[in-house]
Amino acid sequence: MNDKLDVLDNGPFFHGTKAELKIGDLLVPQHLSNYQDKKSNYIYFTATLDAAKWGAELATSISKERIYIVEPLGEFENAPNLTNKRFPGNPTRSYRSKSPLKIIAELGSWERHSDEEINHMIATLKRLREQGIAVIDD
């Protein structure tokens, strides 16, 4: 867990993806980002189901959407892409770490965002990429 005395959040924590993983597997940085064409220096996670759903729904693979319950194995920080940059504070409870996240469970089901919401988000992300605006401050 986060070793800092000023714990940012006690969780539970989620990671949305389309990667098929097993209990005990570790999520680590330096994998291709779902949001831009580069390897990410961090592994991202959240303490809200809504943000985890976005991670699963926007992942670039055509595989099944998955949401894992994860345990941070080291220090983590607020994800600067959402914290104060887009929303005051951190209402999405989104975090990033250079340390692994351990898969401790997989959610069996959840209610997806509507197709309209997902398509709008995909179009927005595409427009940002076309404009050359870095989607992730990594």
Residue 83 CA to residue 24 CA, distance in Å, equals 29
pLDDT number for residue 127? 85
| 2 confidence band (pLDDT: 50, 70, 90) | very low
Q: What is the second-level CATH architecture of the domain 13-131? A: Alpha-Beta Barrel (3.20)
Between 91 and 135, residue with greater pLDDT: 91
What pLDDT sits at residue 129? Answer: 77
Residue 45's closest CA among 107, 98, 95, 86?
Answer: 95
| 91-111 pLDDT, tens digit each | 789 899 999 999 999 999 999
Q: Which of 84, 1, 87, 80 is nearest to 41 (CA)?
A: 80
pTM above 0.95, yes or no: no
Crossing angle (nearest 10°) for helices 115-130 and 49-58: 70
* Domain boundaries of the chain, sorted by first residue: 13-131
- C-alpha–C-alpha distance, residues 57 and 46, integer Å: 14
pLDDT in tens, 30-67: 876 666 666 778 999 999 999 999 999 988 878 899 99
Model confidence at 5, pLDDT cuts 50, 70, 90, reads: very low
First-to-last C-alpha distance (Å) of the chain? 22
